[in-house]
Amino acid sequence: MMAFWPYICLAVLAACLIWLAVVDLRTGYLPDPLQAVLALSGMAVAIIGSPIGISWQAALIGAALNGGVFWALRWLVSRLKGREAMGFGDVKLVAAGGLWLGPWALPYIMAAGGILTLLGAGVASAVARKALWRGEMPLGPGLAAGILGTFIGALTKASWLMLAP
């Protein structure tokens, strides 16, 4: 059973994140029930024994740090733009990602999320032959890919990835 644990964790994480990304792309919304499944499964994995070595304490710190940074970023950018700049679902998604990845994963999630969101908007704009980034772009799929990619990197022990101090 334990030999399959990393694959079970990866399958649960991937299923939750893909489901959330598809819903966000279709609706522009990251539903709380799906976010709860992602968060609860992340905490359960940390308690049972994370295959990437994240303790339950690091998981809680990761959720608080990720959520706090994204909440502050959402608040700041919304104030600067004079309107809501990021949905609260994105904040919850990144906090749930912290439960899976701990506090040191945030730079990887943010970098991948931003780059992949911009690339996705660029590809969609090229296909549609009009600039789609002038409207709203769902950030959830990019963040989900960043969380999943970071987890896979940790599972495969990627040399560039540092999830512990």
What is the tens place of the pLDDT at every residue in 27-50? 989 999 999 999 999 999 999 999
Structurally, the chain folds into a number of domains equal to 1
Residue 164 maps to a domain: no
**What's the domain range around 116?**
2-155
Rounded to an integer, the average pLDDT of 141-146 is: 94
Residue 8 structure tokens: 């079970």
Rounded to an integer, the average pLDDT of 86-93 is: 92
Residue 38 maps to a domain: yes
Residue 80 maps to a domain: yes
pLDDT band for 133, please (50, 70, 90 cuts): low
Residue 20 maps to a domain: yes
The reply to whether the predicted model has a pTM over 0.75 is: yes
Residue 160 maps to a domain: no
The CA distance from 75 to 58, in Å, is: 25
Query: Measured between alpha carbons, how far is residue 99 from residues 26, 55, 77 in Å?
Result: 26, 9, 25
Residue 87 maps to a domain: yes
Residue 53 maps to a domain: yes
